[in-house]
A = this chain, B = another copy of it.
Amino acid sequence: MKDLHLQALKDMIASKWENILEQPQALQFANSLMGKDRRVYALYLTQVYHYAFHTARNQALVAVNPNNTDIHYMQFCLEHALEETGHELMALHDLRSMGVVINDPEKDMPPALPPTQLLIAYLYRIATHGNPVQRLGYRFWAETSYDHIRGFMDKLSTSMQLDKKQMTFFYSHSSIDDKHAKDVEKILLHICKTEEDWEAVTRSAIITLDLTHQILKAVIDEYEKLVRDKPSDFSILHSLRPVFEKNQV
């Protein structure tokens, strides 16, 4: 019974990723100029910085949720929070490593885009209120999605000529992933006891995956503003403008 729920969750996630990666923009990505332009990647990293800043924090709050009375789940939440603490600094490192000048992140980091803000707000809400299993919906797909996106990220690193030290956030999360994926599966099977639990997990997985998709789309929208030299909160990234574009101008 539990295995059926777990499989349905996995299928939903696979199908969502398939859909995201089949969007025209994603398909054209690697072949277009955009696929060679590090500003897109840098834009995305600014958003990673913002949500990663809150990951450990809202994960820790699940342990404190008054509805969370399962010692194992509390420990699981605190362990994960501990591991994720400070990971926003990897995104900051990757940005700096590409040459983006960010002295004081609090002042210099471009802002969180609307869907990033909504993801952060939603994770705090489900961490502190309602069924504490909900946040596992986010974590489950986040830990098990590297298989889906690895191919895309590899192509990206080639076309953008990124080296490892500009992708520490991505690779550090992708490598610790195999162990984590097993752990999160185990706790899911332990903690989800009712239909309502599985529904809550599935609902929050869908909402947060959709928000992630919206973050990607918002990143591309902001990128287009940069290309067209429109007013932008991300003009700090112009330093990464690729040679071919400069030549065009």
Contact = CB atoms under 8 A, between A and B. Distances in A.
A211 B211 CA distance: 12
Interface string A76-101: 00110110011001000000000000
A124 B206 CA distance: 21
Which interface class (under 10, 10 to 19, 20 to 34, 35 or more) fits A?
20 to 34
A74 interface: yes
Interface in A22-65: 56-57, 60-61, 63-64
Contacts of A124: 121, 124-125
Given A125-B121, A129-B66, A207-B114, A75 B71 contact: no
Contact of A56 (B74, B85, B89, B125): B74
B81 A63 contact: yes
A215 B111 CA distance: 25
A120 interface: yes
B79 A63 contact: no
Interface of A: 56-57, 60-61, 63-64, 66, 71, 74-75, 78-79, 81-82, 85-86, 89, 114, 117-118, 120-122, 124-126, 129, 203, 206-207, 210-211
